[in-house]
Amino acid sequence: MKVSIIVPTLNEALIIEKSLAAIACLNPHEIIVVDGGSNDITTILASRLATHVVKSAAGRARQMNAGAKVATGDLLLFMHIDSSLTPESFQKMIEEMRPSEPAGGAFSLHIKSEKISLRLISILATWRSKYLNLVYGDQTIFVRAKIFQELGGFASLPICEDLEFFRRLSRQCKVILLKEKTYTSSRRWLTEGIFFTTLRNITITTLFLLGFPPQFLNKWYMVVR
């Protein structure tokens, strides 16, 4: 199974080399970096390790869709630049996706921190995904390329595009939530504050599910670098 890993970026020069080197160790079919208009040297650094560096209009949904258009793999894996997978977890995903039945899925979440509060948030995020079917992009979503195209990719939303896509996918197809973890950076929680970030995320998700306009909700979501 050929896996195309698609990574949206914006001004990530500080971490992109280390992140892409870790992704390369997974030995995927290809690594596609989709940049949303960085004004640092993100794209220059990305070109050293990525198979393709694509430039796109800013916005995670647009960037990930742009990456999917040039992907040639059987399976698309959308990974945040500050997230990582172990080779064992990556291979487990491939094993689970080899049967034709699952259309896609995601990993369990582990926030990289020794703080008890963030460990608890990681556990609750996995519970939320398993029992409420609410999956975010930091859980590293994967989907068969053919299914992704049939569904029309990510909706052009400024926020919650990951949540909307996975809910749409799971309503029409069988999905899996792996017990294997994707490890994501704690930088947003530590920069904005753990309590504030958690409360803000819960509020945005709740209001989105209630039908509030994503353009309105996006104003609450700060871009942290």
pLDDT tens digits for range 22-65: 999 999 999 999 999 999 999 999 999 999 999 999 999 999 99
pLDDT tens by residue, 102-157: 999 999 999 999 999 999 999 999 899 988 889 999 999 999 999 999 999 999 99
pLDDT at 213 over 90: no
Domains for the chain: give ranges and CATH numbers.
3-185 (3.90.550.10)
**Amino acid, res. 49:** L
At residue 201, the pLDDT reads 86
At residue 197, the pLDDT reads 87
Phi and psi, residue 90, nearest 5°: -60, -45
At 48, list the tokens. 């050293």
Which are the contacts of 204, defined by CB distance < 8 A and separation ≥ 6? 159, 160, 217, 220, 221
Q: How far apart are CA 24 and CA 18, in angstroms?
A: 10
Q: How far apart are CA 153 and CA 157, in angstroms?
A: 11
> What is the average pLDDT across 71-91?
97
Q: How far apart are CA 10 and CA 8, in angstroms?
A: 7
Angle at 59 between CA 205 and CA 159, to 5 degrees: 10
Q: How far apart are CA 184 and CA 8, in angstroms?
A: 15
149-158, 200-209, 212-221: range with lowest mean pLDDT: 212-221
pTM of the model: 0.93
